[in-house]
Chain A
């Protein structure tokens, strides 16, 4: 059974704070690591697809890093805003998984004004 773990489960921060969360995944048979943002009553929104060890991706105030050798990825949000409040999900894709993503339980981020 594939284990994709995210921590923390939930996080409350003040507007303007920077924050980060972790995704742990199997280091063997790695193909890609996906990050999603899921706001209430909306569809999950793709943030990043990361495939190479050492990859760093950035989109506005959000960035992510990837370490495939040790099996973890970090997502960073700089200067959090209330509109960043959402559940952040990571998903692991193995080498022969094609369209199968194995999701972590998510980190629920609440940004207080």
Chain B
């Protein structure tokens, strides 16, 4: 079974620009969660999508948004980039069936650098 894939793997953007990152979950997984990893803050939850609906949102400004498509692929968008948005962005997919907690399987991440 193919793992979680993320594109692009690396990205350099300028302050003020916007960026879209993509995540393709493991086949059959309906939940996709996004995380930001920075050296000082560790892994921080951004949001989770399940069946095209956002179920949970972390404590990030409205510049961070996402969506999920009917095939469970997800995108996240960051508008008006700031230097502090430079980070590794990871997505994770999960079966997310009701009644138990399933492993989240992580992709390789997108390394975003804002200059």
Which residue of chain A is the closest to B3 with respect to CB atoms?
A43
A99-B94, A100-B45, A100-B56 are contacts. A43–B100 as well, Cβ < 8 Å? no
Q: Is B50 an interface residue (CB 8 A)?
A: yes
Instruction: Give the Cβ gap from B55 to chain A, nearest Cβ, in Å.
Output: 5
Instruction: Give the Cβ gap from A57 to chain B, nearest Cβ, in Å.
Output: 12
- Report the tally of A-B residue pairs with Cβ distances under 8 A: 66
B109 touches A100 (CB 8 A): no
Q: Is A64 an interface residue (CB 8 A)?
A: no
Which residue of chain B is the closest to A50 with respect to CB atoms?
B101
A105 touches B42 (CB 8 A): yes
Instruction: Give the Cβ gap from A90 to chain B, nearest Cβ, in Å.
Output: 11
CA distance A99 to B58 in the complex (A): 11
Binding site secondary structure of chain B: strand
Instruction: Give the Cβ gap from A5 to chain B, nearest Cβ, in Å.
Output: 11
The size bracket of the interface on A is 20 to 34
Instruction: Give the Cβ gap from B1 to chain A, nearest Cβ, in Å.
Output: 14
- CB contacts (< 8 Å) of B55 on chain A: these are 98-99
Q: Is B89 an interface residue (CB 8 A)?
A: no
B56 touches A97 (CB 8 A): yes
Q: Is A86 an interface residue (CB 8 A)?
A: no
A43 touches B106 (CB 8 A): yes
A43 touches B103 (CB 8 A): no
CA distance A41 to B2 in the complex (A): 19
Q: Which of A34, A36, A89, A99 contacts B50 (CB 8 A)?
A: A99
A51 touches B100 (CB 8 A): yes
Q: Is A71 an interface residue (CB 8 A)?
A: no
Task: List 4 A-B pairs, minimum CB-CB distance, nearest first.
Answer: A32-B101, A99-B48, A46-B103, A103-B43
